[in-house]
Amino acid sequence: MEEFAQQIINGITLGSIYGLIAIGYTMVFGIIGMVNFAHGDVFMVSAFVALIAFLILTSWLGVSSIAVALVIVLAVAMLFTSLANWIIERIAYRPLRGSFRLAPLISAIGMSIFLSNFVQVSQGPRNKAIPPMVQGEFVLWTDHGYAVTLSFKQLIIWGVTAVLLACFWYLVARTRLGRAQRACEQDQKMAALVGVNVNQTISITFVIAAALASVAGTMYLMNYGVVSFSDGFIPGVKAFTAAVLGGVGSLPGAVIGGLLIGLIETMWSAYFSIDYKDVAAFSVLAITLIFLPQGLFGRPEVEKV
Amino acid sequence: MQEATAKPADAGGADHGGRVNTVAALRDTGITVLLAFGLFLPLIGFKTETNIRNELILTTRWALLFSIVAVIGGFRLLYSFVLHPWLERRRLRPMAATVPAWRSFAGRWFVPFAIGFVICYPAIVIGTAGWGGALKWVDNFGIQILIYVMLGWGLNIVVGLAGLLDLGYVAFYAVGAYAYGLLASNFGFSFWILLPLAGVMSAFWGILLGFPVLRLRSDYLALVTLAFGEIIRIILINFVDLTNGYAGISGIPRPSFFGIPFSADDDGFAAVFGLEFSPVYRTIFLYYLILGLAFLTAFVTVRLRRLPVGRAWEALREDEIACRSLGINTTNTKLTAFSIGAMFAGFAGSFFAARQGFISPESFTFLESATILSIVVLGGMGSQIGIAIAAIVMIGGTEIMRELNFLKQIFGDSFDPTQYRMLLFGFAMVVIMIFRPRGLVSTRTPSVFLRERKVIASDLVGQGHG
């Protein structure tokens, strides 16, 4: 029972990270119908930007307050990753809009290969480990010598995820920008006719996706304390699985899907087999797509002649 | 990300007459330089390194950062003042009504010439590089490229003809390789028995994995096949009793020349034919083996396109609903495409295992699937010549990076061109897609025609729904 409770806490933490990345997939798929293959690598790049920002703050500028450092690192990671994703969209995806169906997919796969190798070449192939940023934990309760703990960093991840999701929800549901974004999702031509700047809206979608991915990247770095150039692919696929499970195009679905994938993965690792933990996510992906292609909250796709 | 300069979204700097607007061009260059600076500041400007006490420290690379930004700015200027006006003038020039004579001549004789060249290739290489240097050129370039040509042609059946997007093709390649590796090293069966057997096993897996995904379409199909490919790889890693996990299978028997082994013994190939022993003979034999297998793939594909099943594949690609209403069994059609495509991957896989003598799950990552799919799409789906050209450009291009040691004289000894291979590979994928979204070869030859055989534009061919 205690172990189970602990696994739920760990699963929610992991799931928050997946959920944040999944939103990027779901938004981009919703608006231009493309699986943004490079999104996982954008997440990885953001973790590297966060790593470098953290090192500059702590070892050069001597910032000792972790709270201040974390806020600045988050802001820097969001800024640079958003800029990078904006440029990527501009260069690699925009010229292919409305083109042959496979072209954006191949372009995104190429971008994914490019990004991971760019980081490998520029930062070296070794794992980058930093000392723990946040230490300490709450002991929730102890039973039979097994303590259920909630560490501070897990609490920060939950808090940051919840706050940013609230901001993000407000942005999409209540602002002019969010309305334009939803309009483009439904019908780009009509949205353009009523005066929505479609290109700009799509650009902003990529910026938001990257900003949320960079939050995930910073949290990932804080949680595990280690990042490498190849860390983009597996979390990317898992986050995509989360987006599919929640229903592609559905924002609450992405978050709930992320939490579910996080829970499934930790439970599978704890009670079944840690070697096969990636099989869990991949199987969920295959099973969902085969038996429930519209996901938990998505709209079923109607086949038109 | 360097392509910031190569492809500006709004072509400022020149109007349609090809005249250069200096102010706009300079403004665009300034913006490009700023963006490039922001883009590269964190990852190029700073480098994380591990010091002696195993702590991460930062070093700066301002010189590198500024030179990269300057190069990008230079390219942007060049684009605004030279390239863009030239492209605009060329666009305005009237198109020639007839195809120039040299192009139709080249188009007609290209394929026979190419076939002749690949058959003579080992002889040409030995003639120019000598026996010692030939090994590298035949093995790294010839065999390596031909494996990808064959895989590309095999996947072309699934993606290019049937229009089913498969991102897990490497799984069948792995099945073929492990089938050969395990059966040959445990039971000692010969290559020629195991080659068809590996094909059959891969085809069986093709049906097995194809069956559940029949209902899926486009990107969803791609992702489920990706998931299957990864699951197979994870099983190969963790099923240590059978596959020996990460360590892989080594000491896989090499194929023999119709029973005569390529060894230095008295009954070896060299001794039997009265030649001096050299490892080049085996390599040349393997070269012709994979060449034969690749030609087999191409030949079978060409013949299948004229059979009802091939026609059904292409019909399925053009319009699945119309197919169903005309009474074509889409389930069987898709499964045959999947299994025949998988069979060729199985052949290639068993050849790969026999050539390397060693296989491990590392060789069957998602990157391989992505590479094969990109070769098919970059070459032009459905165009076999295009796929062969794309394999030569992409695989040969990355292999040639190993040979560019003269760059060390420019950039210093610490510069290692090989580590930029995959970086440029990804970059080339993006660039080719932007400039030629339908692939390098822009024409297709339909197998069904009215009165005369014609070459049509690739835009007219369907993209497939699956």
Q: Å from B443 to nearest chain A CA?
A: 15
Question: Does residue B425 belong to any structural domain of this protein?
Answer: no
Question: Does residue B399 belong to any structural domain of this protein?
Answer: yes
Q: What is the CATH number of the domain that holds B128?
A: 1.10.3470
Instruction: Compute the distance between CA of residue A248 and CA of residue A26 in angstroms, rounded to an integer.
Output: 5
Residue B33 sits in the same domain as residue B114: no
Instruction: Compute the distance between CA of residue A199 and CA of residue A278 in angstroms, rounded to an integer.
Output: 37
Q: pLDDT tens across B252-276, in order?
A: 888 877 777 777 777 777 777 777 7
Domain borders along chain A are 2-291
Q: pLDDT tens across A240-256, in order?
A: 989 988 888 788 889 99
* Residue of chain A whose Cα is closest to the Cα of B165: A102
Give A211-242 as a DSSP string: HHHHHHHHHHHHHHSEE-GGGGHHHHHHHHHH
Contact flag B377-A118 (C-beta cutoff 8 Å): no
Q: Which of B7, B223, B366 faces A35 most closely, judged by CB atoms? A: B223
Answer whether residue B9 shows pLDDT above 60. Answer: no
Q: What is the pLDDT of residue B1?
A: 40
Residues 147 through 206 of chain A touching chain B, CB cutoff 8 Å: none
Residue B178 sits in the same domain as residue B304: yes
Residue B33 sits in the same domain as residue B86: yes
Answer whether residue B246 shows pLDDT above 80. Answer: yes
Residue B346: which residues within 8 A CB-CB, separation 6 or more? Answer: B172, B173, B175, B176, B179, B198, B199, B200, B201, B202, B203
- Domain end, chosen from B92, B113, B130, is at B92
Question: Does residue B390 belong to any structural domain of this protein?
Answer: yes
Residue B140 sits in the same domain as residue B278: yes
Question: Does residue B432 belong to any structural domain of this protein?
Answer: no
Whole-angstrom CA distances from A288 to A240, A245, A267, A302 are 12, 6, 18, 18
Instruction: Compute the distance between CA of residue B343 and CA of residue B203 in angstroms, rounded to an integer.
Output: 5
Q: Which of B14-23, B107-116, B336-345 has the highest mean pLDDT?
A: B336-345
Domain span at residue B18 reads: 2-92
Residue B161 sits in the same domain as residue B247: yes
Average pLDDT for residues B230-256, to the nearest whole number? 87
Q: Which CATH number fits domain A2-291: 1.20.1070, 1.10.3470, 1.10.10, 3.10.450?
A: 1.10.3470
Question: Could you tell me which residue, A142 or A263, shows the higher pLDDT?
Answer: A263
* Residue of chain A whose Cα is closest to the Cα of B325: A305
Residue B88 sits in the same domain as residue B152: no
Residues 25 through 64 of chain A touching chain B, CB cutoff 8 Å: 34-35, 45, 48-49, 51-53, 55-56, 59-60
Residue B120 sits in the same domain as residue B49: no
Q: pLDDT tens across A29-67, in order?
A: 888 888 888 999 999 999 999 999 998 988 888 777 888
Secondary structure element (H or E) that encloses residue A255, with its range: helix A251-271
Q: Which two tokens stand for residue B242?
A: 């059978």
Residue B31 sits in the same domain as residue B168: no
Question: Does residue B433 belong to any structural domain of this protein?
Answer: no
Q: Residue B339 — left, alpha, or beta (φ > 0 → left; ψ -120 to 50 → alpha)? A: alpha
Question: Could you tell me which residue, A213 or A299, shows the higher pLDDT?
Answer: A213
Task: Give the pLDDT band of residue B146 (cuts 50, 70, 90).
Answer: very high
Q: What is the pLDDT of residue A107?
A: 92
Residue B293 sits in the same domain as residue B184: yes
For strand A128-129 and strand A137-143, is the pairing parallel, antiparallel, or unpaired? unpaired
Q: Which of B212, B219, B234 faces A278 most closely, judged by CB atoms? A: B234
Residues 47 through 86 of chain B touching chain A, CB cutoff 8 Å: 47-50, 55-58
Answer whether residue B152 shows pLDDT above 60. Answer: yes
Question: Lowest-confidence range among A117-121, B13-17, B312-316?
Answer: B13-17
Residue B76 sits in the same domain as residue B113: no
Question: Does residue B321 belong to any structural domain of this protein?
Answer: yes
Q: Which of B49, B231, B377 faces A283 most closely, judged by CB atoms? A: B231
Instruction: Compute the distance between CA of residue A227 and CA of residue A74 in angstroms, rounded to an integer.
Output: 16
What does DSSP assign to residue B250? Answer: E
Answer whether residue A82 shows pLDDT above 80. Answer: yes
Percent of chain B having pLDDT more than 70? 92
Residue B272 sits in the same domain as residue B330: yes
* Residue of chain B whose Cα is closest to the Cα of A128: B56
The mean of the pLDDT values for chain B is 84
- Domain end, chosen from B64, B92, B120, is at B92
What does DSSP assign to residue B14? Answer: B
Number of domains in chain B: 2
Answer whether residue B180 shows pLDDT above 50. Answer: yes
Question: Could you tell me which residue, B26 or B5, shows the higher pLDDT?
Answer: B26
Q: pLDDT tens across B402-443, in order?
A: 777 777 777 766 677 778 888 888 998 899 888 888 888 777
Average pLDDT for residues A83-107, to the nearest whole number? 88
Q: What is the pLDDT of residue A111?
A: 94
Residue A156: which residues within 8 A CB-CB, separation 6 or more? Answer: A70, A134, A219, A222
Question: Does residue B70 belong to any structural domain of this protein?
Answer: yes
Q: Residue B383 — left, alpha, or beta (φ > 0 → left; ψ -120 to 50 → alpha)? A: beta
Percent of chain B having pLDDT more than 90? 27
Average pLDDT for residues B176-190, to the nearest whole number? 90
- Domain end, chosen from B62, B92, B122, is at B92
Residue B152 sits in the same domain as residue B298: yes
Answer whether residue A237 shows pLDDT above 70. Answer: yes
Contact flag A113-B422 (C-beta cutoff 8 Å): yes
Answer whether residue B115 shows pLDDT above 80. Answer: yes
User: Using a CB-CB distance cutoff of 8 angstroms, which residues of chain A are in contact with residue B373?
Assistant: 106, 109
- Looking at this predicted complex, what is its ipTM? 0.88
Contact flag B57-A49 (C-beta cutoff 8 Å): no
Question: Could you tell me which residue, B265 or B251, shows the higher pLDDT?
Answer: B251
CB A82 within 8 A of CB A214: yes
User: Using a CB-CB distance cutoff of 8 angstroms, which residues of chain A are in contact with residue B5?
Assistant: none
Instruction: Compute the distance between CA of residue B119 and CA of residue A182 in angstroms, rounded to an integer.
Output: 58
